[in-house]
Amino acid sequence: MGCSCWSGCAPRSGPTNWRWTAPGMTKRELFDTLRKEEVNRGLTFEYCLLTTGTSLNRAPSDYTLAEGDIMSLDSGANYHGYIGDLCRMAILGEPDAELEELLGEIETIQRAAMGSIKPGAMGSVIYGTAEPLVRKSKNHNHMHFLAHGMGLVSHEAPRLAPGGSFGYDAYDAELPLEAGMVVSVETTLQHPKRGFIKLEDTVAVTDTGFEIYGEGGRGWNRGATSARQ
């Protein structure tokens, strides 16, 4: 799947070294670097949504990264006609206790939602697991959970999002998940002071449960702390 494209830069444990990001780099350069990395790995670049600092804007721009900035990188690539999608977080420096707590809560919601995935389970179990955790969060007014099928296109069956929030009904929510289905699971926090914090995973339903494509780099990945020469 395409989501393994840039997660391949990330080890499966511990703070990941993102030394290719550094103070003085622009959002546009960050976008181009990631695009080139995906293409160099034999993938077709699809999109990249990225935020830096405390801004919630996800478009490439001439904003210049500064020490202490956080970054969210949400990108998908196409491999032999199939799309994968992944979002990971990074920081130019070290995260403080609040940032660790915020990302840790998102990780908890992600793990709980993905842990409910198995063949035979109703599609609604994913939202049924995640949404109570979102509601009890002190940041619930700024937090959003989403799960949707993906594969040949970025939003396809199984259709799971309630309330027609993406222009289609959740007509697969009360049908059982089947081995071979692929689901995007994502939890987003648009924090009014700390910025955009998100994890997204591409998850395949297997015969025995689930498999996460691109498992690594789930914590605060570390960028360089000195400007490029």
Domain region containing 209? 4-223
| Spatial contact of 49 and 58, defined as CB atoms under 8 Å apart | yes
Give per-residue pLDDT as tens, 140-154: 999 999 999 988 878
Let me know if residue 80 belongs to a domain.
Answer: yes
Phi/psi of residue 159, nearest 5 degrees? -85, 115
Residue with tokens 């989403």: 146
d(CA 223, CA 1): 26
Let me know if residue 228 belongs to a domain.
Answer: no
d(CA 104, CA 123): 25
d(CA 15, CA 108): 17
Pick from 88-92, 131-135, 222-226: least confident: 222-226
Residue with tokens 């799309």: 83
Let me know if residue 229 belongs to a domain.
Answer: no
Q: Give the H or E element holding residue 36.
A: helix 27-40
**What would the mean pLDDT of 156-164 be, rounded to a whole number?**
78
Let me know if residue 85 belongs to a domain.
Answer: yes
Residues 10, 218, 112: CA angle, nearest 5 degrees: 140
Q: What is the DSSP letter of 137?
A: S
Give per-residue pLDDT as tens, 10-35: 333 334 568 889 999 999 999 999 99
* Buried b / exposed e along 39-50 (16+ C-beta atoms within 10 A): eeeebebbebbb
Residues 117, 119, 124: CA angle, nearest 5 degrees: 50
**Can you tell me whether residue 124 is helix, strand or coil?**
helix
pTM confidence score: 0.90
Let me know if residue 20 belongs to a domain.
Answer: yes
* CATH code of the domain in which 195 resides: 3.90.230.10
Task: Specify the number of domains making up the chain.
Answer: 1
Let me know if residue 189 belongs to a domain.
Answer: yes
